[in-house]
A and B are shown apart, each in its own frame.
Chain A
Amino acid sequence: MNVRELADRLHEALEGVPHAERPIFVKGWASNLANEEKAAVMTLIGLFGFEIPRSKHVLVLLHGIRTAAVWQDLVEEAFDGTDIRVIPIGYEYHDAFRFLFPYRRRVVNYVRGQLRQVTRDWNGAEISLIAHSFGTYITSQILRTDTDVRFKRIAFCGSVVPAKFKWASIPGLPGRDNFVNEVGYRDVWPVFARAFGFGYGTSGSFGFRQAMIQDRFHNLDHSGFFDRSWIRRFWLPFIEQGIVLRSETGRPNPPLWTQLINVVSPKYLIPLILLIYVLCRYYPWAFG
């Protein structure tokens, strides 16, 4: 049971109910709830009276590919007891093939729709975002076109957005103090994504190094951020209060092979080798 969510449901239910009639209304409303929730409703009424406040800060979670996004539950758990309402959003299971396939408009549109729904439902509330992996790519595509989408704070992790993405051209970004890119320097997936896919980059492995965003380096791999203690340590103070704690480790040089694969991208190298082979095989005169 999430108390913040229950409080929001109660707030919604009480809207339009005349003040004097609220105790009797809540009596009927609570009768359909589980016993645990009934006790929670009583607790909320004890603390707030019959004027339950609505969440003023909503945290949207957007997952990556090949995942059931269990980490979203961990974040929800970590934020329980705060005044932030956590709303996980996402899309259907995405495998590596679909991830590499360059047509991604459908999934971007699907997430855009969900994001729009959240902004409609929480009109007036501040919205923050934590996105992982392919979720960071989707976010970048939405922010590129939907200039009215605004976030209070953004945290990226395992980002596959190109490091040269033009953040500076996007209006209404939260600004460097409120936009953190969590970089796992043991994370090889952004490097692979860039090497084999189109439109991706290595910002999750090497950082953005742009003025609009703070890169925070960690000794983690692609999904190493999803630890209860880590979430409480880094994301809770950031999303709640805008505090960006220094990461717990220094930043080593990335392994040579990741640097190499980053420079010599196989997606170009393989067709090039094939082309040379075909030319040598069928047009040997071209090489004298």
Chain B
Amino acid sequence: MSTSYLSYSDSIPEQPNMTAVAYEHLRGFLRGEFARRSETQARVYTSRRLAEIAGDVPTMALALALIQLVQSGWLEQFVRVQTQSGSGLQDFQSLEDLPSTVYDWKETFREIPVVPENVEVCYRLCKAAPQ
């Protein structure tokens, strides 16, 4: 890779902090969601959806931004176990609450094992927007 010399300058900007960029994008989106809360009360966001909203940021930066949003009270995390076709069966507060099987009351009507393909980490708005 060849060297990229930028022109001489008295004030070279800092490399943008991609975590901060992702955090700001997501926070802006969540502010809007809080404002329209009555319409979106049961709104759930998958990790993939939040990644789309955050834009083109490295995944590790996005991970940090999401952790910060959870810590600062914008979002709540939970784990959703789904059917094979992606329909939600049961939600759990944390990974520790995951059972080894869940009853599929939507499609197969039997106990199905909890495997990577039917586990989705989701987010929802906290009860109140943080100040």
B115 close to A20 (CB less than 8 A): yes
A42 beta carbon closer than 8 Å to chain B? yes
Chain B residues closer than 8 Å to A177, beta-carbon distance: 1-3
Chain B residues closer than 8 Å to A83, beta-carbon distance: 58-60
Complex Cα–Cα for A45 and B115 (A) = 13
B10 beta carbon closer than 8 Å to chain A? yes
Given contacts A23-B116, A39-B71, A42-B79, 14 further A-B pairs with CB under 8 A are A3-B63, A19-B116, A22-B116, A23-B114, A23-B119, A27-B98, A41-B95, A51-B116, A81-B61, A233-B13, A233-B15, A242-B1, A242-B4, A248-B10
The 8 closest A-B pairs by CB, nearest first: A46-B121, A46-B47, A81-B19, A81-B61, A50-B116, A236-B15, A177-B3, A232-B14
Secondary structure dominating the interface of A: helix
Complex Cα–Cα for A8 and B11 (A) = 36
Q: A24: which of B2, B46, B60, B100 is its contact (CB, 8 Å)?
A: B100
Known: A46-B121, A177-B2. A38 touches B95 (CB 8 A): yes
A47 close to B63 (CB less than 8 A): yes
Quick one: CB contact mask for A21-39 with B, threshold 8 Å, 1 for yes?
A: 0111011001100001011
B6 beta carbon closer than 8 Å to chain A? yes
Q: A233: which of B12, B66, B114 is its contact (CB, 8 Å)?
A: B12
Quick one: CB contact mask for B27-53 with A, threshold 8 Å, 1 for yes?
A: 000000000000000000011000100
Quick one: CB contact mask for B42-82 with A, threshold 8 Å, 1 for yes?
A: 00001100010000001111111111001100000101000
Secondary structure dominating the interface of B: mixed
| A 224-276 contacts with B by CB, 8 A | 229, 232-234, 236-237, 240-246, 248
Q: A residues engaging B (CB < 8 A)?
A: 3-4, 7, 19-20, 22-24, 26-27, 30-31, 36, 38-51, 80-83, 176-178, 214, 229, 232-234, 236-237, 240-246, 248
Task: For B121, give the chain A residue with the smallest CB separation.
Answer: A46
B109 beta carbon closer than 8 Å to chain A? no
B94 close to A38 (CB less than 8 A): yes
Q: B121: which of A19, A42, A51 is its contact (CB, 8 Å)?
A: A42
A81 close to B95 (CB less than 8 A): no
| B 10-27 contacts with A by CB, 8 A | 10-15, 17-19
Can you give 27 contacting A-B residue pairs, CB < 8 Å? A3-B60, A19-B116, A22-B115, A23-B115, A23-B116, A30-B94, A30-B96, A39-B71, A40-B67, A42-B77, A42-B95, A42-B121, A43-B77, A45-B95, A46-B47, A46-B77, A46-B122, A47-B66, A81-B19, A82-B61, A214-B3, A242-B4, A244-B3, A244-B5, A245-B5, A246-B5, A248-B10
